[in-house]
Structures are given as C-alpha cells and as structure tokens.
Amino acid sequence: MAHSVRDEALALLRRLGVSEAAFAPGGLPARSPITGEIIATLRETTAAEATAAIDAAARAFPAWRAVPAPRRGEFVRLLGEELRAAKADLGRLVTLEVGKIVSEGLGEVQEMIDICDYAVGLSRQLFGLTIATERADHRMMETWHPVGVVGVISAFNFPVAVWSWNAALAFVCGDPVVWKPSEKTPLTALAVQAIVERAATRFGGVPAGLSSVLIGGRSIGEVLVDDHRVPVVSATGSTAMGRQVGPRVAARFGRSILELGGNNAAIVAPSADLDLALRGIAFAAMGTAGQRCTTLRRLIVHRSVYDTLVPRLKTVYASVKVGDPREDGVLVGPLIDGPAFDGMERALGEARAIGGAVHGGVREHAAQWDGAYYAAPALVEMPRQSGPVLRETFAPILYVMRYEGFDEAIAMHNAVGAGLSSSIFTMDMREAERFMSASGSDCGIANVNIGPSGAEIGGAFGGEKETGGGREAGSDAWKAYMRRATNTINYGTTLPLAQGVTFDIMG
Ligand code: UN1
C-alpha cells in the first residue's frame, strides 16, 4: 500500500516555500488524481484581488522595462538556478498533482530550466533589422520594446512548463506576468510562485507585482481576458476555450497567443523502420496517459505494413503497466478526473457504434481508489476516419486506419479541425520531404521518424487551424511578447519624401 499522497504533497509544499496563508477551509479543493484524495483546500482569488494583481503588474511595467534586457536575463538566470535546486521536489509535486510518471514530472521541470537558459541568451539578442531606404542620407530600422502585462492562462496537463515558456520570455522582454493556472492544478502554481519569489529576492530590485498567480476558475480568467491593461493573453487549453478568449481579447485590440487542441496523427509508410515506429508511437500515444496536446491520436498505416505493425502494437498496449505513477515500471498514470474518463468512454462507445474494434480502454484500480480514474490505453481499429476520430478526446485513445496511396494519407492526415503536431515514419526521402513541404502536413509541427509529442523548447511551439495559430517557446516566438517600432532617421540636410512626393512650401 503506497503512502499518503496528501502527507507527501504537504511536505513538498512546505519545502518549496508555499505559505500556509494559501490554504483555507472550504476553499478550492486540490485533488490528487493518483488516489482521488484532497491534498488541500485553497483560498480562491476574488475578482477584486485579480484586478489588484493587474494593477500591481501595470505599475511594475515601467520599472521593469527600464531595467536593461541583459539584467532582466540575470533574473531569469537566477530563476533557472532556483528551478534546478527545486527540480526534484517540484517534479515530484507535478507527479502528485497531475499523475504524471516520475520521469515525466521531472522532465516538465527540465523544460522550465531549458526555457530559462534559452531566455537568458535571448536577453542579449532582442534585435531588429536595419532596412535599406529609398531616400538619401536616411536610415531605417526596427526596435523591439516591452509590450506590457502578459496574462497567462494554462491547462492542467503541463501545469508549470507552459507558464515558464511564456514567463521566461516575457520577463526578458520586459513584461510583467499575471498567471491563471488551471483550477485543477493550483498547488504546483503556488510552488512556482514561491520559487519566483526566491529568485526575485536574490536578484534584488524586482518591482512588486512582476509575477503573480490567480487561484480560481473561469471567472478569474475572464478578469485577465477583459482587462485592457493586459495587451497579450497567452491561453493554452481546449479549442472551445480559445473560441471564447480569442474574440474577447481581439474586441479590445489585445493580442492573444492561442495554443489549443490537437488531433495529431502519424503516417506509417511502407518503408518505415517498424521497431523505431513502435517505440515512437507508444510514447506519443500512451505517454502522460494521452493527456498532452501533442499526444498521438490517429495512426494512418499503409496497408502493406498494417498486419505486421498493428499486432505488435496490440502486444505493447496489453503489456503496459497502468497504475500509481510513483511506482517503478508504471508507464501510464491516472486520468486527471472522472469527467476525463467519461469522455474516454463516450468516444469509445461512439467508435464501436460505427464499426471500430476497441482493444483496451477499461477502467482499472477502481476497487482500490474509487475516486481515481485509471484507464488501460485503448487501441481502436477504425474502418474509416469518422465520428470521434475527427475530434480530440483528452485520453489515451489511438485510432488506427489503413491507407493505400500517399496522397490519400496526406489528405486523411489534414482532414481534421486541429493543426498542432504531426509525424511520418518513413525511410523514403521523397515522402519525408513531401510531408514537411507546403503540400504536406498542415500542422505547426511536422516530424520525421519521431512521434508528434515531446518537443524541445528551442523550436517555436504551436499550431494552425483550430489549434489557434499561436507560437510559444523558441525560435522567434519572443516577438509576440514585444511591440515593434519602425524608425526612420534622416541624417542629411534635405527632406526628400518617400514615393517621390513633392510638397514644396513657401519661405
Ligand atoms: C502541452 O501538452 O500543452 O511537446 C504541451 C510536448 C511538450 C509540451 C506539450 N514539450 O509534448
């Protein structure tokens, strides 16, 4: 019998520096999906407090933008150091609060450390272009300035890493951050805030209000969405959530960075290295219990390899250990809650009704923990791509389908609403290049011989279509956290006008 999640989580929270003031009887319950037990109840942020946090962030902005960018980078360097020191504890808390297996909990914190390192370097590289002008003795250039308060709304499944992609960039770009984490994962958010405060103390001179956390549900998120002093709102979650947030932020001419649902596929071509494909598929489809936005949900297999690959996959699916994510050897932890399991059952029922053959997918460990929802990952052989296959169900369901021709595979691949991540397993370079070309995958991420999940922070992360179009983390994603000014400077003695316009005045 495993020891109590609650005791361990409370000890971790103390070690991580979360103050007792965060707790309140009868407040928001923080549950562990491992056992279903309540770890703590938390004081919820009121709407007035949320507005006060935005006031403080807005006040912090002029002070923070005046700090030279490489100095702001020093703050993020210290944050990275604090995260390194806290990695074991915070990673473990992610496991307890979200149910990720131990190495994935630690991996999430590593992702935070990685983006901090990235942002430190970036703090000396926030540069713009110098542009040739059509006028003599003129120079044109772009400068990038801090934009203001960044609102971050994050989901339960990456409860801390997604904040860090946004916050590490925002901080070096000169922007304060107000964060509304998922109401399902308040504990890890409070722990991160305590870590930020330690970095701020070591740095000295961080303006009050630079970083804050709002604990609560949708109505608290709405305060961020609607406040005109928040020029950028970065929201991660469902497409339904994004449909609300995007237009509301746009209505006040704010900018949103949306990272919404994924319905990610992999194509397995005739030439695929099937050993490698098997490993790639297994991690991408079952890892994090199918609760990544990059999770592999659709497998499009050439008919010539179907009967070799699919039986092997079935064996892997049947052998994977589902259970307490703290235990060695477990690869699939619990779903986040009961509604997640209901959604899985519903999707499997719909798949069966249209001819799908479902392997796995049954609830496990219900006798031991009736408030926890473990499910054996499901492999579903579908006669065609329809019904639940066309939408994202946030659970470990992999729909498998056959294809004949490569064009058909690409068409099937692109025939869903979401456009986050994608992959192809092939040894044929023509297919690989086609898949990554303009006429190939329509997703923001297109991989070859690796699955669609588990991206590094160095690349821009996000997707097209109903995924929302936002990009976070690496490459030039930082530009979304700044405003661009185009400058034209005349160092001559005359005033030539652009486009040859003349405007001669008297005198
Ligand atoms: C998410 O599920 O919201 O690429 C983010 C990945 C991770 C991030 C997933 N690095 O799977």
Contact of 262 with 293, CB cutoff 8 Å: yes
Average pLDDT estimate for 12-30: 95
- pLDDT given at position 341: 98
- Which helix (H) or strand (E) is 285 found in, with range? helix 274-286
CB-neighbour burial class of residue 204 (10 A; exposed 0-12, middle 13-18, buried 19+): exposed
Interatomic CA distance for residues 457 and 441, integer angstroms: 21
- The number of beta carbons lying within 10 Å of the beta carbon of residue 336 is 24
Structure tokens at 143: 């400068």
pTM of the model: 0.97
Average pLDDT estimate for 19-46: 96
Average pLDDT estimate for 385-396: 98
CB-neighbour burial class of residue 65 (10 A; exposed 0-12, middle 13-18, buried 19+): middle
Average pLDDT estimate for 348-376: 97
DSSP states of 57-103? HHHHHHHHHTS-HHHHHHHHHHHHHHHHHHHHHHHHHHHHHH---HH
**Does residue 185 line the site of ligand 1, with CB under 6 A?**
no
Q: pLDDT confidence of 2, banded at 50, 70, 90? A: low
293 is catalytic: yes
Q: Return the SS3 of 403.
A: strand
Pocket test for ligand 1, best of 158, 259, 447, 472 (most atoms within 8 A of CB): 158
- Closest atom of ligand 1 to 457 CA is 10
- pLDDT given at position 97: 98
How many residues can be counted in the chain? Answer: 507
- pLDDT given at position 23: 94
**Does residue 157 line the site of ligand 1, with CB under 6 A?**
yes
Instruction: Specify the amino acid at residue 39.
Output: I
**Does residue 293 line the site of ligand 1, with CB under 6 A?**
yes
Please report, rounded to a whole number, the percentage of residues in the chain having pLDDT higher than 90.
99
Average pLDDT estimate for 123-140: 98
pLDDT above 50 (res 1) = no
Torsion sign across C-alpha atoms 344, 347, 351, 352 = positive
**Does residue 455 line the site of ligand 1, with CB under 6 A?**
yes
* Mean pLDDT of the chain, nearest integer: 97
Average pLDDT estimate for 413-434: 98
- Closest atom of ligand 1 to 421 CA is 4
Average pLDDT estimate for 446-464: 98
**Which residue's CA is the closest to the ligand 1 atom numbered 11?**
454
Average pLDDT estimate for 69-86: 98
Longest CA span, the chain:
94
259 is catalytic: yes
Interatomic CA distance for residues 143 and 483, integer angstroms: 8
- pLDDT given at position 138: 98
Pocket test for ligand 1, best of 239, 260, 294 (most atoms within 8 A of CB): 294
Q: pLDDT confidence of 144, banded at 50, 70, 90? A: very high
Average pLDDT estimate for 390-402: 98
Interatomic CA distance for residues 167 and 115, integer angstroms: 9
Give the pLDDT confidence of 428-453 residue by residue, as tens digits: 999 999 999 999 999 999 999 999 99
pLDDT above 70 (res 234) = yes
- pLDDT given at position 507: 80
Residue 305, phi-psi category: left (phi > 0), alpha (psi -120 to 50), beta (remainder): alpha
- Closest atom of ligand 1 to 293 CA is 2
pLDDT above 70 (res 3) = no
- Closest atom of ligand 1 to 461 CA is 4
Contact of 272 with 305, CB cutoff 8 Å: yes
Catalytic residue selected from 259, 392, 431, 472: 259
Pocket test for ligand 1, best of 157, 263, 392, 453 (most atoms within 8 A of CB): 453
Average pLDDT estimate for 51-74: 98
